[in-house]
């Protein structure tokens, strides 16, 4: 018998959503066009509690990060391999302004408990992590294919609505560009990163100074990321590669070889909060999107809201509900 719920898209949003529905015993099916243009394929999966030039503590980090850790650890336990890894971030001051921001915010205790020891060049950020998104998504896809829960190929959420009681759109950029949720005030920020071969990095430390360098195993790291607001192309560009090579030279301070380049589009909203909820005109259409630059932090939270909504009728958090834009 066909399940009532169809999830369209198996990036980070659709993966976490399906995981939560499975845990709640809610039957579902997934349709996914493939990872080629998924933002999740370009994402480093870093959860960094303090970000940006103004050194801002990530929104709701104190609750969202432990919740994300629990879910990714649960998935890792079932998969028999860890997807979550704890990191420290070595945040180097890019200029005097950043040093002053750190001094002022530290003095006021605003960065606690995440800002650690400091010196003249920078400070340590504790409580960071990395979720191995390519491995997680590939494992989940293989599992769902084996269980007959996933159809590889595109689906039209509006058309699928005729056959399913609830269609939850997790197609990221595609949903923001066309379809029933395209009218929300989306904004786009294309990002690119480099895969590099490099020896001698501390594998427990993410280097960060405007850009980041993330160790992803012995002799390998990812360096990112560019920001191109408004840009929606998904093909890597020579300009971004040149910019990232300069950033990698400064951050890594040792020889490296570029082995790959990835590109994706961060989909976000004016308030930089993600979106989970039902369509105001057709409640049989739902959405899980707008993860922006914080997919690893936000996706577990959105998926849990859908689970609680379907199990007990719980309302969506107003900070995530699409009705906040009406």
Ligand X SMILES: Cc1cc2nc3c(=O)[nH]c(=O)nc-3n(C[C@H](O)[C@H](O)[C@H](O)COP(=O)(O)OP(=O)(O)OC[C@H]3O[C@@H](n4cnc5c(N)ncnc54)[C@H](O)[C@@H]3O)c2cc1C
Q: Which residues bind ligand X (CB under 6 A)?
A: 8-14, 31-35, 38-40, 42-46, 154-155, 170-174, 191-193, 224-225, 264, 266, 289, 291-297
Rank residues 192 and 305 by Cβ distance to ligand X and give the closer one.
192
Distance CA 29, CA 149 (A): 5
Task: At 91, list the tokens.
Answer: 């945040």
To ligand X, the closest distance from the beta carbon of 203 in angstroms equals 17
Among residues 45 and 322, whose Cβ is nearest to ligand X?
A: 45
R_g over Cα of the chain:
20
* DSSP code at position 321: -
Query: How far apart, in whole angstroms, are the C-alpha atoms of residue 107 and residue 221?
Result: 34
| 118 vs 135 by CB, closer to ligand X | 135
CB-nearer residue toward ligand X: 106 or 317: 317
CB nearer to ligand X: give 35 or 106. Answer: 35
- Using Cβ positions, the residue closest to ligand X within the complex turns out to be 11
Least separation in angstroms between residue 147's CB and ligand X is: 18
Place of tokens 């890894």: 85
Q: How far is the CB of 225 from ligand X (least distance, A)?
A: 4
Q: Give the Cα separation of 188 and 322 in Å (integer).
A: 17
Min dist. Cβ of residue 136 to ligand X (A): 11
Bridge partners for 178 per DSSP: none
Q: Which is nearer to ligand X, 71 or 297 (CB)?
A: 297
Determine the Cα angle at 227 with ends 224 and 228, to 5°. 140
Nearest distance, CB of residue 43 and ligand X, angstroms: 3
Q: How many CB atoms lie within 10 A of CB 231?
A: 17
Least distance in Å: CB of 31 to ligand X? 5
In the bound state with ligand X, the residue whose beta carbon lies nearer, of 119 and 159, is: 159
Q: Where are the alpha helices (DSSP H) in the chain?
A: 12-24, 39-42, 61-79, 96-107, 133-146, 157-160, 173-177, 238-252, 295-312
Q: Long-range contacts made by residues 197-201, C-beta under 8 angstroms, separation at least 24?
A: 197/256, 197/257, 197/259, 198/252, 198/254, 198/255, 198/256, 198/257, 199/254, 200/254, 201/252
Give the shortest CB-37-to-ligand X separation in angstroms. Answer: 6
155 with 29: CB under 8 angstroms?
A: no
């Amino acid at each position: 018998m066909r399940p009532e719920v169809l999830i369209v898209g198996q990036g980070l949003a659709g993966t976490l959503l399906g995981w939560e529905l499975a845990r709640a015993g809610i039957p579902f099916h997934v349709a996914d066009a493939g990872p080629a243009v998924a933002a999740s394929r370009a994402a480093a999966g870093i959860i960094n509690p303090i970000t940006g030039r103004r050194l801002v503590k990530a929104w709701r980090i104190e609750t969202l990060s432990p919740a994300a850790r629990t879910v990714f650890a649960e998935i890792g336990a079932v998969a028999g391999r860890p997807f979550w890894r704890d990191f420290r971030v070595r945040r180097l001051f890019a200029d005097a302004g950043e040093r002053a921001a750190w001094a002022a915010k530290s003095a006021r205790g605003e960065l606690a408990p995440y800002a650690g020891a400091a010196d003249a060049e920078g400070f340590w950020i504790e409580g960071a992590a990395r979720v191995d998104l390519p491995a997680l998504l590939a494992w989940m896809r293989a599992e769902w294919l084996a269980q007959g829960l996933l159809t590889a190929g595109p689906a039209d959420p509006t058309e699928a609505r005729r056959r399913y009681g609830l269609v939850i759109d997790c197609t990221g950029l595609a949903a923001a560009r066309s379809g029933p949720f395209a009218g929300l005030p989306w904004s786009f920020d294309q990002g690119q990163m480099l895969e590099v071969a490099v020896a001698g990095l501390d594998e427990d430390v993410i280097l960060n100074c405007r850009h980041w360098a993330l160790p992803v195993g012995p002799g390998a790291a990812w360096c990112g990321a560019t920001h191109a607001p408004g840009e929606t192309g998904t093909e890597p560009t020579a300009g971004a590669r040149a910019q990232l090579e300069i950033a990698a030279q400064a951050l890594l301070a040792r020889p490296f070889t570029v082995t790959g380049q990835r590109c994706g589009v961060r989909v976000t909203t004016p308030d930089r909060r993600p979106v989970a909820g039902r369509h105001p005109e057709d409640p049989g259409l739902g959405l899980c999107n707008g993860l922006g630059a914080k997919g690893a932090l936000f996706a577990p939270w959105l998926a849990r809201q859908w689970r609680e909504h379907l199990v007990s009728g719980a309302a969506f958090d107003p900070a995530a509900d699409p009705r906040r834009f009406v």
